[in-house]
Amino acid sequence: MKTEKDLEKIVDGKPVSLYTIVNANGMSCDITNYGAKIIRLYAPDRNKKYEDVVLAFDTLEEVIEKEEYYGAVCGRFANRIKDGKFTIDGNEYTLAINNGTNALHGGVDGFNSRVWDVISASETKIVLGLLSPDGDEGYPGNLQVTLTYELTNDNALSIHYEATTDKPTVIGLTQHSYFNLKGAGNGTIKDHQLQINADFYTVLDESFALTGEVRPVEGTPFDFRKPVVIAERIDDEVYVPGWGMDNNWCIRKTQAGECALAGYIYEPVSGRKMEVFTTQPGMQIYTGNWIENQIGKEGKTYDRQDAICLETQGFPNSPNVPFFPSPVLRPGQKYDEWCIYKFSAE
């Protein structure tokens, strides 16, 4: 039996520990300050039976050495920046390339592999901090990030991202948990229903970076405005053929910055439902396409399409697309975004 001690260690000269937050209903979430990763998240089914619904590992060694994005906060810029380059105020910046020809999730050494400082921790909330120095993975400016996880009594896990900079930079943070509402390691997510409040989606090029083109979902396999069983769409040739979804949708909002319902997933056997609310303009749906025969928590096997990520985000490659919502953060401004995962059972 693995214990919390298996998730404690000194990494890069800093202590790493596991922190548990709990709400009044008994819902709980285990978080490590290594990568600000969610390790366990227990949600109730319609019979009030709790199950851990996120993929992860039992030991810190596995968390570090195996799948690097399970449960992590990704930054300084989540998703892909084409060719690892962008320009601000006439100054071109070159980033670390770590995904084909592109920069992905902040680079080779992103926020997902940093030891975050624990600013405070209480029964329901943990606040983490991280300083990303000027030039970090090629990004300009000293960026100070504050991240708050809180479990509320309406069974919502709220994630609050805040950041400031001393030099113009780009920023886009996301939470990269891999969900399975049947329970982590309990099979495929193809039987989950997916609904997305989006009238448009963004188009990918051959390198999986955004071209800048935005198309309507109407009449296409990208239309999830009404709930769809994932198995009915996941193998469509418009996605990664034979592999699944890894695409960004443009979330419908009445005004910029609104914390709107982006969509939900629902698992009919347990009755578990997870709604996603966000202030961010986009949401990436990724169906665990590259997971292959991994041994996860409690010795369970994780395989392809055994999880789904609902990553609220700024639009990928937005530093290079002027008409996308701007990811530029300047001195005196504050990056202030929310993602909320709200659980219920029907």
pLDDT digits (tens, 9 = 90+) for 34-83: 999 999 999 999 999 999 999 999 999 999 998 889 999 999 999 999 99
What is the residue-level pLDDT of the chain in tens, covering all 346 positions? 344 677 889 999 999 999 999 999 999 999 999 999 999 999 999 999 999 999 999 999 999 998 889 999 999 999 999 999 999 999 999 999 999 999 999 999 999 999 999 999 999 999 999 999 999 999 999 999 999 999 999 999 999 999 999 999 999 999 999 999 999 999 999 999 999 999 999 999 888 889 999 999 999 999 999 999 999 999 998 987 668 999 999 999 999 889 999 999 999 999 999 999 999 999 999 999 999 999 999 999 999 999 999 999 999 999 999 999 999 999 999 999 999 999 999 9
d(CA 261, CA 266): 15
pLDDT for the residue numbered 141: 98
Do residues 280 and 39 touch, judged by C-beta distance below 8 A?
no
List, for residues 71-127, the tens digit of each pLDDT value. Answer: 999 999 999 999 999 999 999 999 999 999 999 999 999 999 999 999 999 999 999
Note the pLDDT of residue 2.
Answer: 45
Q: How far is residue 202's CA from residue 263's CA, in Å, rounded to a whole number?
A: 17
Residue 49 to residue 282: CA distance in whole angstroms:
32
pTM of the model: 0.97
Which helix (H) or strand (E) segment is 92 a member of? Answer: strand 91-94
Quick one: which H or E segment has residue 195? Answer: strand 193-196
Domain 4-345 fold? Beta-galactosidase; Chain A, domain 5 (2.70.98)
| Signed CA dihedral, 131, 258, 262, 48: sign only | positive
In angstroms, the CA 345 to CA 47 distance is 8
CB 149 within 8 A of CB 159: yes
Count CA within 13 A, CB hemisphere, residue 36: 27
What b/e sequence results for 320-343 when a residue is b if at least 16 CB atoms lie within 10 Å of its CB, and e otherwise?
bbeebeebebeeeeebebbbbbbb
> Taken in order 36, 239, 321, 256, is the CA torsion positive or negative?
negative
Cα torsion angle, 172, 207, 309, 192, sign: positive
3-state secondary structure of 14: strand
Helical ranges in 11-159 per DSSP H: 60-65
Q: Which of 284, 51, 81 minimizes the C-alpha distance to 177? A: 284
- Distance between CA atoms of 108 and 96, rounded to whole angstroms? 6
Domain spans of the chain, in order of start: 4-345
Closest Cα partner for 81 from 253, 212, 246? 212
Cα separation of 272 and 44, whole Å? 7
The predicted structure's pLDDT at residue 1: 33
Which are the catalytic amino acids? Answer: 176, 311
**Structure confidence at residue 201 (pLDDT):** 98
